[in-house]
Amino acid sequence: MKKLIVIISFFVFLGTVHIKAQAPLDTLVHKKVEVRVDGLSCPFCAYGLEKKAVGIAGVDSVKIDVEKGLMTLKVKDGKVIAEDDIRKQVKKAGFTPGEISYPDPD
């Protein structure tokens, strides 16, 4: 019986590891998220994007690089930012969201 419990526990552990390995990228914990946004030329657009992005759950601060067309979101400690939320807010700001990447995956 004891042996059976050990075997079951082992398989449960393996299953957990597998689930974690298969977890989608946007549910992992990251410190920063980078989002490509084209057409960021005027200050109203850039600061408008900032205005919308600070409203995303889990965002600590927002940095916009107009020249590179890049928005960097600093994530609050222990929080996760959903990619869908990012895309939604970028669209609200009047832009088409581009590639979302994670410069410092944990």
Rounded CA-CA distance 9/47 in Å is: 52
Nearer to other proteins, 13 or 44 (CB): 44
CB of 30 to other proteins, least distance (A): 25
Nearer to other proteins, 94 or 103 (CB): 94
| Other beta carbons within 10 Å of 11 | 9
CB of 50 to other proteins, least distance (A): 7
CB of 41 to other proteins, least distance (A): 7
Nearer to other proteins, 48 or 98 (CB): 48
The residues that touch other proteins, with contacts defined as CB under 8 A, are 41-44, 47-48, 50-51, 54, 92, 94
Nearer to other proteins, 27 or 61 (CB): 61
Q: In what order do the strands lie in the sheet with 97-101?
A: 59-65, 70-75, 32-37, 97-101
CB of 11 to other proteins, least distance (A): 52
Write out 10-66 in H/E/C secondary structure. Answer: HHHHHHHHHHHHHCCHHHCCECEEEEEECCCCCHHHHHHHHHHHCCCCCEEEEEEEC
